[in-house]
């Protein structure tokens, strides 16, 4: 069976996305955390979700240095777009290590600022691997209902910390060429590589 690296945020959408593809792919989740900027609640949620989803292991990746670099070196309005590109590029590094062929996200069209059609286009154009988005066109209530059915909703519900460093008025539209210029202005690769090298791996006996 082919492998995929799945971004597991601790929110409602990403566990459902993993569930929908779990029978077709061997899925390895990765959680990008913001410690020490935050406490360990998001980490513990993600670890619990990986167990409920019967996954074999999870990578817990320290991502605060990368997110700080995005704030310091790039236009703040594009923070959510650039942070998702950074996570996906880090996931690509992990995918090479794990010999995975795909990436999976819980992105849901137009739900939040980075997930407008325009911004999803900008994100996809700056990632080399194929990104699977199984809940892209789901209604939010459909996702919630499925999360309740598979036992992840109660773990996932509540505020997420992804907006900790984000702007008050994020860009809802973006030009892929402008994003390309911004990414070329600062080399994120050393920080992304270091984040993956410093990841903690939690194994499960499922």
pLDDT tens-digit readout, 160-205: 655 666 667 777 788 889 999 999 999 999 999 999 999 999 998 8
Closest CA to 32 of 3, 65, 1: 65
Q: Which helix (H) or strand (E) holds 95?
A: helix 79-98
Q: Read off the pLDDT band of 148 (50, 70, 90).
A: very high
Closest CA to 13 of 130, 166, 145: 145
Tell me the average pLDDT across 8-28. Answer: 95
- Sequence-ordered list of residues with C-beta below 8 angstroms from that of 195, at least 6 positions apart, any chain: 32, 61, 62, 63, 65, 66, 90
Threshold 0.85, pTM exceeds: yes
* Radius of gyration from C-alpha coordinates of the chain: 16
Q: Read off the pLDDT band of 110 (50, 70, 90).
A: low
Distance CA 192, CA 197 (A): 9
Give the pLDDT confidence score for residue 100 in this predicted structure. Answer: 98
Given a cut of 60, is residue 57 above it in pLDDT? yes
CATH number for the domain spanning 68: value is 3.40.50.620
Q: Domain total for the chain?
A: 1
Distance CA 175, CA 121 (A): 9
Domain of residue 151: give its range: 3-203
Instruction: Provide the mean pLDDT of the chain.
Output: 91
- Decide if 163 contacts 9 (C-beta within 8 A): no
Give the pLDDT confidence score for residue 107 in this predicted structure. Answer: 92
| Residue 136, both tokens | 């892209």
β-bridge pairing 200-203 and 102-104 = unpaired
């Amino acid at each position: 069976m082919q492998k995929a690296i799945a971004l597991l945020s601790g929110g409602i959408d990403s566990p459902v996305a993993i569930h929908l593809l779990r029978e077709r792919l061997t899925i390895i989740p990765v959680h990008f955390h913001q410690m020490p900027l935050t406490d360990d609640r998001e980490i513990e949620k993600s670890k619990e979700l990986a167990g409920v989803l019967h996954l074999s292991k999870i990578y817990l990746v320290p991502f605060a240095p990368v997110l700080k670099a995005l704030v310091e070196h790039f236009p703040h309005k594009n923070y959510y777009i650039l942070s998702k590109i950074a996570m996906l590029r880090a996931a690509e590094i992990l995918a090479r290590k794990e010999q995975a062929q795909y990436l999976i996200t819980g992105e849901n069209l137009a739900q939040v600022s980075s997930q407008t059609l325009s911004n999803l286009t900008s994100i996809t154009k700056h990632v080399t691997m194929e990104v699977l988005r199984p809940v892209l066109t789901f209604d939010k209530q459909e996702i919630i209902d499925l999360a309740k059915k598979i036992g992840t909703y109660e773990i996932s519900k509540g505020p997420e910390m992804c907006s900790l460093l984000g702007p008050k008025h994020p860009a809802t539209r973006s030009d892929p060429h402008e994003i390309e210029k911004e990414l070329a202005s600062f080399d994120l690769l050393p920080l992304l590589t270091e984040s993956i090298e410093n990841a903690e791996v939690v194994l499960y006996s499922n």
